[in-house]
Structure 1
């Protein structure tokens, strides 16, 4: 029997909840240590936070995201949260997109910081097709969550709020720019820097100050 997910929470009885998924080799505690919780508290935002530890083996085995849904998101709905956002850094951003694609309606918005665009196998297949608009996924491709994510990105709901932020010097910046282009122009933000915490901290503060949470 698998162990329950380990989480870190900051709750003030707010009507909105943000669920944060870590990048590879990160933990829930990294969000707290990087000041993500403090940034929300300092602004006195009506937002509860829960950061999640995810095991790489559970991610590759396909059990991590169902556990997030069953142990965190679904109970939060029953508790009466008006809005539930899902977000993450790097691999956590990819997982947020994958979960949203496979579980439509489970969350009300996405906060994606330097979202990993997927393996080269995935991104190269789309590029060979002439880009996302021309790409027509095969049934075999749609057995892979990364390809299902990109299929969802071909036509996300026009009113679905999403923030996509990344460093312009990030080694995956081209793919991140492509993700951001799938959403309204106000949702994408590139700032100087690479794939590291100083960039993600600034982007998190940009998101908190953007007003997206209030829409």
Structure 2
């Protein structure tokens, strides 16, 4: 088990930031996410839980996210944001889109949008509105996310970005077209920290959170 990492500053807003696949909370610390927040003195607490999808299905992870993290956080914080990197971003987005748990905002750094089989099927169908998933396909978490996005919940403040050389860029571009985003940030970089850290800096500087009192 990888211990959860926390930066608790006595703020009234919390961001739960989910690591990507093969990523630990400690990787996020080493990359500078916590330091970038601390040096800005923003009124935001940051927690990176040790939470990954169970096997090929994320239903258990989504239930744990709500029961063990979101529900307790809502009793302590005025605002609870949810975010993640790559697969962690997909899980965060699935939580919102599937209305698994209530969140007040999303921070999505290169969120994985699913395999090309699914995204290509959406394009071939003429768009998300015309695409139909079969009952058998709904066992796939990638398919469930796109199905949920056909009838998304009310919009929340949302930040999304990815690197221009990201190997999943085509799917992320398609995803951005169906999210209530003011804009999607595309910066130089790959599917790694070369893009993720500058995107994180953009998110922190976007004005969602005021200064610590």
TM-score by length of 2: 0.88
Q: Give yes or no for the alignment of 1:204 onto 2:204.
A: no
Report the secondary structure of 1:64's partner residue.
helix
Q: CA deviation at 1:184?
A: 4.3
**Residues of 2 paired with 1:64 and 1:152: CA distance?**
17
From 15, 40, 52, the equivalent of 2:12 is 15
8 Å Cα contact 1:7-1:53 kept in structure 2: yes
2:131 aligns with 135
Q: Give yes or no for the alignment of 1:53 onto 2:50.
A: yes
Unaligned runs of at least 5 residues, structure 2:
none
2:96 aligns with 100
List aligned pairs for 1:36-185, cutoff 5 A: 36-55=33-52, 58-62=54-58, 63-79=60-76, 81-104=77-100, 106-157=102-153, 159-184=155-180
8 Å Cα contact 2:63-2:100 kept in structure 1: no
Instruction: After superposition, give the CA deviation of every residue in 1:38-90 in whole Å (9 maximum; x if it has no partner).
Output: 1111111110011022345x2535422211211111111122x1111111111
8 Å Cα contact 1:101-1:148 kept in structure 2: no
The ranges of structure 1 where at least 4 consecutive aligned residues each deviate by more than 4 angstroms after the TM superposition are: none
Question: Which segment drifts farther, 18-27 or 141-150?
Answer: 141-150
8 Å Cα contact 2:163-2:189 kept in structure 1: yes
Taking only aligned residues, the RMSD between alpha carbons, in angstroms, comes to 2.1
Distance 1:158 1:101, change over 3 A: closer
TM-score by length of 1: 0.87
Instruction: After superposition, give the CA deviation of every residue in 1:162-207 in whole Å (9 maximum; x if it has no partner).
Output: 1110001111111111222223453310011111112100000001
Question: Which segment drifts farther, 11-20 or 183-192?
Answer: 183-192
8 Å Cα contact 2:164-2:187 kept in structure 1: yes
**Residues of 2 paired with 1:51 and 1:141: CA distance?**
31
Larger helix proportion of the pair: 1
Report the secondary structure of 1:107's partner residue.
coil
